[in-house]
Amino acid sequence: MEDEKTLKTMPRLDESLLTHIPPFSKLGLTEIREILDQASSRRYGEGVAVFSEGGDADRFFMLLDGYIRVIRITETGEQVISLHIPSGQLFGIARALGRDTYPATAVTASEAIILSWPTSLWDRFVIDYDGFSTETYKIVGKRVGEMNMRLVEMATQQVEQRVANALMRLINQTGRKVEDGIEVDFPITRQDLSEMTATTLHTVSRLLSGWEKQGLIKSRRKRIVVTNPHGLMLLSQQR
Amino acid sequence: MEDEKTLKTMPRLDESLLTHIPPFSKLGLTEIREILDQASSRRYGEGVAVFSEGGDADRFFMLLDGYIRVIRITETGEQVISLHIPSGQLFGIARALGRDTYPATAVTASEAIILSWPTSLWDRFVIDYDGFSTETYKIVGKRVGEMNMRLVEMATQQVEQRVANALMRLINQTGRKVEDGIEVDFPITRQDLSEMTATTLHTVSRLLSGWEKQGLIKSRRKRIVVTNPHGLMLLSQQR
DNA sequence: AGAAAAGGTTGCGCCAGAACAACGTTCGAT
DNA sequence: ATCGAACGTTGTTCTGGCGCAACCTTTTCT
């Protein structure tokens, strides 16, 4: 769980890694080259903490491949998953929100490849690269919007709707087409889903069993395939 | 509820209005003068919508006096209060998050005096006034932090704790000292509190009655005085 | 291979708090 | 002063889903 910092600066990162990613997509190749030359790259195993709540926000990150879960832990030890980050997004950008410690913990939900830069470079990026700031805040805006949606959901919806919603969101954002439907693209347990929807793993298990009987999903250990997205959507909206 | 736009440009707004307010406090008097000269000022009655969810984000606002409630309304017509904004803060800054419509509705929780500028000036402010952007994002960061806290609360705490928390937050952020304690500085109903904490007005009423019997608070219609903040805090933390 | 750990299922009892209901109180309008 | 609307209280009933428990299945470790 401890992340021993083995930051290796890869001698040659391919420019094409970034050319289609929002905060960089408006930049020229030379600029992207500059940015990459200052980045560290690292592979993380599944379930590893990239940074921890309260820690010094000394670096910011870009997820090249894999998935990241942003979690918070309460005084009583319960976990709450506040966000999933798909590949191609910046995260740990405390600096952009005027913070100097990380407000939450980031854990890899699957194997991941992550670029990072020292936070001291943030201001330089903002100044030097046109559009970088604007594009970044669009991402922030989206995340704020998502959090807001979840707040409203938690305040007004029943457990079944919330879990259905969470699952829909997962397959929309991180779904991968498989033969009989769309599969959540990283290992996910009942417990994880319960921590995303403020319920217990038991309730999630019962719901998934029910849905499987209705032919909406198929699931095996840590894997969920949604075979009938439309049916699931109806569930998430009903009432 | 409809707000007929009677935007009057006040001939002389006092510079001292802004000199101690974060995004402006680092600016010189001439810069503040410039900013004020471009602002419209308006008084709003209680319970008036300043802008509405989904509406064109054509202006951004600064609350000079009073309180603003940021609400969202679900398909089924339920309200959820997602934020209270105290005087001295910017709001409706959709532009800062790369949005071109307002993501929520802002309603005055009390009489209010509000400055506003056309959104087109936002970029100009960011460019022209040093530190404006940074200070603004600190505010955004704080709000994101608050939303996150509420998410965790809703996911892990019982109703009693949530309501106690909400009340603590209200008196900390907007409290006004009165003879026998600290009073919430704007009219607030049981319904309002229930919309902040995802419960019903009945449950809130019962809780407040209980707390009053325990000597923690005193309340009359639309007014709540916390007479024993420490005791309330214990409640909000317990378990 | 065998054991242990992690993940998943299912049954059952219980209770916090929602839903429903009826009534009291305060405020503002005329 | 009267009336109606908004706000608040309190009693009773009912249920979603949590807590607890027992057990099964798959994966990982040695």
Strand D footprint nucleotides (protein C-beta < 7 Å): 7-11, 16-21, 26-27
- Pinpoint the alpha helices (H) of B41-92: none
Same domain, A33 and A96: yes
Please report whether residue B10 resides in a domain: no
Residues 6+ apart with CB under 8 A from A117: A35, A38, A39, A40, A59, A60, A125
pLDDT in tens, A134-179: 999 999 999 999 999 999 999 999 999 999 999 999 999 999 999 9
Same domain, B100 and B198: no
pLDDT in tens, B54-113: 999 999 999 999 999 999 999 999 999 999 999 999 999 999 999 999 999 999 999 999
Q: Which nucleotide is nearest to B222 (CA to C1')?
A: D7
Which element (helix H / strand E) includes B40?
strand B40-44
pLDDT in tens, B184-227: 999 999 999 999 999 999 999 999 999 999 999 999 999 999 99
- Pinpoint the alpha helices (H) of B68-158: 120-128, 132-156
**Residue that finishes a domain, picked among B119, B153, B187:** B153
Same domain, B58 and B102: yes
Contact (CB, 8 A) for A73 and A31: no
Q: Does the CB of B233 have a partner CB in chain A at under 8 Å?
A: no
Query: How many domains does chain A fold into?
Result: 2
* C-alpha A153: how far from chain center: 19
Same domain, A21 and A117: yes
Same domain, B179 and B142: no
Same domain, A140 and A161: no
In this prediction, residues A192-215 reach a mean pLDDT of 98
Same domain, A115 and A172: no
In this prediction, residues A211-234 reach a mean pLDDT of 97
**Residue A40: CA count within 13 A, CB half-sphere:** 15
8 Å CB contact of B148 and A104: yes
Sole residue written with tokens 């995802």: B198
What is the nearest CA distance from B65 to chain A, expressed in angstroms? 25
Question: What are the tokens at A193?
Answer: 């889903």
- Does the pLDDT at position A9 exceed 80? no
Contact (CB, 8 A) for A104 and A71: yes
Mutate to test the interface with B, among A76, A144, A236 (most CBs of B within 10 A): A144
**Residue that finishes a domain, picked among B153, B177, B205:** B153
Q: How far apart are the first and last CA of chain B?
A: 42
Residues 6+ apart with CB under 8 A from B238: B161
8 Å CB contact of A98 and B154: no
Mean predicted lDDT score pLDDT of chain B: 92
Q: Does the CB of A234 have a partner CB in chain B at under 8 Å?
A: no
8 Å CB contact of B140 and A140: yes
pLDDT in tens, A61-73: 999 999 999 999 9
Mutate to test the interface with B, among A102, A125, A136, A154 (most CBs of B within 10 A): A154
Contact (CB, 8 A) for B70 and B106: yes
**Containing domain of residue A115, as a range?**
15-153
Stated in angstroms, how far is B158 CA from D8 C1'? 23
Residues 6+ apart with CB under 8 A from A115: A13, A36, A39, A40, A41, A61, A62, A64
Stated in angstroms, how far is B198 CA from C20 C1'? 19
Minimal-distance CA residue of chain A relative to B135: A98
In this prediction, residues A3-29 reach a mean pLDDT of 72
Task: State the pLDDT confidence band at A93, using cuts at 50, 70 and 90.
Answer: very high
